[in-house]
């Protein structure tokens, strides 16, 4: 199908940054209106008084700690019910100049990166050659009269994962974790998980501390498609060690024609959601 090739021309280089073992070195505020501020409170909840405010586009925030606290090892053994029962995450943040500090809801934070770290000066990847135009990503129906063939769906899945890596661009403040990110990559269940229980590590890299490279996505050589589920593999090299990031895709039956979407991402020892 000709439209498949047009929709999947997204194999640009990926841009990610080095971050330390406790998460990104800096954070920025998202999802706050230009005429508003982010309230910073005395404690982790709206029942605590506001003691400071951060600008709607504040950058360079430092994270002191967050609650509820759990490591990826804890997260990987928790049941969905246990995860869903956790209260919303709050983080104790301070400004870049250390003049202000307070607790803010984690949903208003996203990793913030220095452009020099990202591109060419010690960064992990080269600068992308082009910005991903997600408007060109066509829905790939898995059911109905216009359902794509297995080969077309596998190729679409490969391109979709490549587009996801290329879409994430901290230099432009763009991330798949942003609630405003285009609804083309993940299943409805996956998107709801991102909103309610953010992952404790970078989903595309599978770690918090990172210095390395990733390969182009490829269909699983042993079983690229099984009972409607497509598996796409990405080799991730991190500090000289290599592992395979595994992306599982299938039709999202909550949407018309069940378009192909990512419903799970797996790394060594853990998966999400």
CA angle 70–73–76, rounded 5-degree value: 95
Distance separating alpha carbons of residues 152 and 160, to the nearest angstrom:
12
The distance in angstroms from the start CA to the end CA of the chain is: 32
Closest to 28 measured CA to CA, from 103, 99, 113, 86 = 113
Query: Are the CB atoms for 13 and 129 separated by under 8 Å?
Result: yes
Distance separating alpha carbons of residues 234 and 162, to the nearest angstrom:
9
State the CB neighbour count (10 A cutoff) for residue 106. 18
54-71 pLDDT per residue, tens: 999 999 999 888 888 766
10-24 pLDDT per residue, tens: 322 222 222 223 345
On the question of pLDDT at 116 being above 60, the answer is: no
Q: Is 182 exposed, middle or buried (0-12, 13-18, 19+ CB in 10 A)?
A: middle
Question: 3-state DSSP call for residue 74?
Answer: helix
Distance separating alpha carbons of residues 93 and 184, to the nearest angstrom:
32
Distance separating alpha carbons of residues 137 and 184, to the nearest angstrom:
7
Owner of token pair 């082009």 = 130
- The percent of residues above 70 in pLDDT, for the chain, comes to 76
pLDDT at 73: 64
DSSP-assigned letters across all residues of 40-73:
EESSSSTTSPEEEEEETT---BEEEEEES---HH
pLDDT at 171: 60
State the pTM of this model. 0.56
Confidence at 170, pLDDT banded by 50, 70, 90: low
Distance separating alpha carbons of residues 58 and 93, to the nearest angstrom:
12
pLDDT at 132: 58
Q: What is the set of domains in the chain, with CATH numbers?
A: 27-115 (2.30.30.40), 136-272 (no CATH)
Q: Beta strand 260-267 with 241-251: parallel, antiparallel or unpaired? A: antiparallel
Tokens of 227: 């009972």
């Amino acid at each position: 199908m000709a439209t498949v090739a047009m929709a999947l021309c997204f194999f640009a280089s990926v841009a990610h940054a080095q971050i330390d073992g406790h998460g990104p070195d800096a954070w920025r505020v998202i999802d706050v209106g230009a005429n508003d501020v982010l309230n910073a409170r005395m404690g982790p909840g709206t029942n605590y008084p506001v003691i400071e405010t951060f600008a709607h586009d504040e950058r360079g925030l430092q994270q002191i700690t967050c609650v509820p606290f759990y490591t990826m090892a804890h997260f990987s053994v928790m049941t969905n019910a246990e995860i869903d029962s956790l209260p919303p995450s709050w983080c104790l943040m301070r400004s870049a100049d250390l003049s202000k500090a307070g607790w803010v809801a984690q949903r208003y934070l996203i990793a913030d990166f220095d452009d020099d770290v990202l591109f060419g000066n010690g960064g992990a990847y080269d600068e992308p050659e082009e910005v991903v135009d997600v408007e060109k990503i066509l829905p790939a129906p898995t059911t109905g009269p216009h359902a794509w063939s297995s080969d077309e769906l596998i190729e679409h899945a490969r391109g979709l994962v490549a587009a996801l890596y290329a879409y994430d661009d901290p230099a432009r403040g763009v991330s798949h974790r942003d609630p405003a990110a285009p609804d083309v990559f993940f299943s409805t269940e996956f998107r709801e998980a991102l909103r309610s229980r953010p992952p404790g590590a970078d989903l595309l890299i599978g770690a918090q501390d990172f210095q390395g490279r990733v390969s182009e996505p490829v269909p699983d050589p042993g079983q690229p498609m099984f009972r409607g589920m497509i598996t796409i593999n990405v080799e991730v090299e991190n500090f000289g060690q290599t592992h395979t990031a595994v992306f599982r895709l299938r039709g999202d039956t909550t949407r018309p024609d069940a378009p192909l979407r990512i419903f799970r991402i797996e790394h060594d020892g853990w998966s999400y959601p």
